[in-house]
Amino acid sequence: MRAVRASTNPLLSDRDVAFLLYEVHDAPGLLELPAFAEHSRETFDLFLTSVRRLAREALFPTYRAMDAEPPSFREGRIRVHPAMRSLYPQLVELGLLNATRAREVGGQQLPLTVFSLASAYLMAANLSAYGWLGLTSGAAHLLEAFGSPELKDTFMARMYRGEWTGTMALTEPQAGSSLADVQTRASAAADGTWRLSGTKIFISGGDNDFAENVVHMTLARIEGAPAGTRGLSLFAVPRLRPEEGRLVDNDVQVAGAIHKIGYRGLPSLVLSYGERGDCRGWLVGPPHRGLSLMFQMMNEARIMVGLNGVATASVAYHEALAYAQERTQGRTLTERDATAPQVPLLQHADVRRMLLRQKAIVEGGLSLLVATSRLADLATHGDTPADRERAALLLELLTPVAKTFPAEKGFEANALAVQVHGGYGYSSEYPVEAWLRDQKLNSIHEGTSGIQSLDLLGRKVMAGSGAALRVFQEEVGRTLARARRAGVEAAWCDALQRSVDEVVALTHELGMKLMEGDADGVLRHSAHYLELFSLVAVGWQWLAQACAARDALARGDADTGFYEGKLCAAQYWVHTELSRVPALVALCRSSEDSYAKMKPEWF
């Protein structure tokens, strides 16, 4: 009934969100943990209602404009789209910056499980607008966890209040994937602060004209520190520094803005530190521990990127679905009468294939992100040290998967959304092309897919002699036991069981090869391994959903269409994706060397 209703695109399905929270991932179970005792289903639902309305009524209507008019760079400063000036305070007012944080820092201790689903609406509506919030929140959390009381007072508190924004400043021209090569320098100053100098690139949200100040959480190398990642330290470097009750220029200049193909509402900048020799940084945590501290923010950001991937695929899926219901074209295969009316696109089997594939990727991916977020909740707030440790192990294992699957398969889903629109999808009159551009970023930032695959295969599955993988296997086993009891098709359960067993056996073999020193042979197929692992992890999520759907149908829930749709998507995943597992396993096992033996001049 609101005057402003830009579109009927729901961004995410509310029904699916409720299903994931209350029927699949047991959000009420979290309420038994002391940390979340003040919450209830009512607080979750009210929060979701507010956030989805803000997403639909305020963020989504400004998305196209922010994509069309990226921030401008003039006289050393960034001017953002004017809409951000009212959107940012609205996001802050809702309490989003510190929703999951503790009372002591003004937060409300909302489970990440709930927050992730809520934020997915905001990302689907307008990922750039959300980006400002996500970065600020992550940067403030770094200070909360590792900053001195003074730093918390001056920087963190203002960031959580929405007065200042934050960034993560890691990348340099020569140090993208390889953070070991970061060269920004820090030298000790007499006043206890540090003088920084160097250049960062691609720093998202590095400047704006809607907040008073920006704090760059910066990785730099203290003079004389060892080479490599062990010599990196973390600094808080504000654009303006407080001095005698005033804010003065801190000698971090915007040296340029990158022209981007997507994510265009959030500027990614070249920052130049200390051109006048007057850039002060405040050390966060102990020296030379910067990268491991930064991993807190990076891991949070990876989950956020995963959600972003799902959200960007989701909004496009809903757009394509609505289009396929409205647009008529051609007739069914059996219709012989050329004068019969044309049928909606949705009547064609191949269009349904494209839509079911999108649904399977979107809803399977979202479920994986909810599972991952729940692990993050348990890793911090679980009942016993053993619970927390177990959750942390599985969280670490799943993080590269939860980051990469939505980026890679989400891009495919976004391409399908364009495809469903036919020629109109390829025109900028329709919004689906924009989401395709936006989505591409997710396989690049926060560690490229290649880097994530090396992290998964080279580190996560191998660590502690495969301890995390064992936990994964147990969890899948539990889901399977429940699914069988619920009457989920035995063939689907068997297929998932076989796939998991194959992954485990393969991983043991590859572990042996690594110990024998064949890192090249093993790791050259890291991308295939990550893909394989993702198919199984999402298969796990689809069986968990099938199980909940079977339960609901058995208890006679009237919403049969919703649950039948879930079962079809689960069936699709088992038959078209899990069925690819053996081929990928064979590829990884063989250390097939086509590209390894290519000499540069043969390309």
Partner 1 sequence: MKILVTAKRVEDAESKIRVNPQGTGIVPEGLKYKINPFDEIAVEEGLRLVAKHGGEVVVVSIGGKEVQEQLRHALAMGAHKAVWVNHAGALDQLAIAALLAKVVEAEKPDLAILGKQSIDDDQNQVGQYLAEFLGWGQATFASKVESLESDAEKGKHPGVMLSADGKAVVVVREVDNGLATVECQMPAVVTTDLRLNLPRYASLPGIMKAKSKPIQELTPAGLGVDVTPKVVIQKMVPPPARKAGIKVPDVATLVDKLKNEAKVV
Q: Is the Cβ–Cβ distance between 127 and 14 less than 8 Å?
A: no
Residues between 168 and 187 with contacts to ligand FAD, criterion CB under 6 A: 168-171, 176-177
Per-residue tokens: 85: 């000036």
Nearer to ligand FAD, 31 or 444 (CB): 444
* 171 binding partner (options ligand FAD, partner 1, none; Cβ < 5 to 8 Å by kind): ligand FAD
Distance CA 394, CA 445 (A): 23
Residue numbers 262-291 binding ligand FAD by CB under 6 A: 263, 268
Q: Which residues contact 181 (CB under 8 A, 6 or more apart)?
A: 172, 174, 175
Paired tokens of 467: 């301890």
Q: Is 54 in the site for partner 1 (CB under 8 A)?
A: yes
Q: Of 112, 118, 156, 203, which lies in the binding site for ligand FAD, with binding defined by CB under 6 A?
A: 203
Nearer to partner 1, 55 or 397 (CB): 55
Q: Are 220 and 291 in contact (CB under 8 A)?
A: no
Please name the residue that has the structure tokens 């290519």.
598
Is residue 446 flagged as an active site residue?
yes
Tell me the closest approach of the beta carbon of residue 136 to ligand FAD, in angstroms. Answer: 12
- Measured from the Cβ of residue 515, the count of other Cβ atoms closer than 10 Å reads 10
The yes or no reply on residue 163 touching partner 1 (CB under 8 A) is no
**365: Cα separation from own chain's centroid:** 10
The torsion angles phi and psi of 341, rounded to 5 degrees, stand at: -60, 150
Distance in angstroms (rounded) separating the CA atoms of residues 46 and 54 = 12
What mask, x for binding partner 1 by CB under 8 A, covers residues 531 to 570? Answer: ---------------------------xx-----------
**Minimum Å distance from CB 1 to partner 1?**
4
Q: Does residue 404 touch ligand FAD according to CB under 6 A?
A: no
Cα gap 25→547, rounded to integer Å? 12
**Interatomic CA distance for residues 408 and 406, integer angstroms:** 6
Region binding ligand FAD by CB under 6 A among candidate stretches 161-169, 318-326, 400-408, 494-502: 161-169
3-state secondary structure 106-159: CCCCCCHHHHHHHHHHHHHHHHHHHHHHHHHHHHHHHHHHHCCHHHHHHHHHHH
Decide if residue 95 touches partner 1 (CB under 8 A). Answer: yes
Q: Does residue 197 contact residue 272 with C-beta atoms inside 8 Å?
A: no
Q: Give the x/- contact pattern for ligand FAD in 108-147, rule: CB under 6 A.
A: ----------------------------------------
What residues contact 489, with CB distance under 8 A and at least 6 apart? 546, 571
**CB of 219 within 8 A of CB of 170?**
yes
Complex with ligand FAD: residue 113 or 128, whichever CB lies closer:
128
Q: Give the residue with the Cβ less far from ligand FAD, 10 or 231.
A: 231
**# of chain residues touching ligand FAD (CB under 6 A):** 19
Is position 451 an interface residue for ligand FAD (rule: CB under 6 A)?
yes
- Out of 319, 446, 531, 577, pick the active-site residue: 446
The DSSP symbol for 23 reads: I
Distance CA 106, CA 102 (A): 7
Mask for 74-93, x = binds partner 1 (CB under 8 A): ------------x---x--x
* 188 is a contact residue toward partner 1 (CB under 8 A): no
Residue in 141, 445, 460, 566 binding ligand FAD, rule: CB under 6 A: 445
Question: Rounded to an integer, what distance in angstroms lies between the CA atom of residue 309 and that of residue 534?
Answer: 14
User: 448 contacts which partner out of partner 1, ligand FAD, none, CB within 5 to 8 A by kind?
Assistant: ligand FAD
Among positions 9, 16, 25, 47, the unique one binding partner 1 when judged by CB under 8 A? 47
Q: Is 338 in the site for partner 1 (CB under 8 A)?
A: no
99 binds partner 1 (CB under 8 A): yes
CB of 129 to partner 1, least distance (A): 15
Q: State the minimum distance, in angstroms, from the CB of residue 57 to partner 1.
A: 9
CA distance 146 to 545: 39
The token duo for 275 is 């051109």
For 168, 231, 301, 520, 580, the CA distances from 524, given in Å and listed in that order, are 30, 28, 26, 6, 19
Contact string 13-42 vs partner 1 (x = CB under 8 A): -x-----------------------x-x-x
Catalytic residues: 446
The residues that touch ligand FAD, with contacts defined as CB under 6 A, are 167-171, 176-177, 202-204, 260, 263, 268, 441, 444-445, 448, 450-451
The residues that touch partner 1, with contacts defined as CB under 8 A, are 1-4, 14, 38, 40, 42-43, 46-47, 49-51, 53-54, 86, 90, 93-96, 99, 108, 110, 558-559
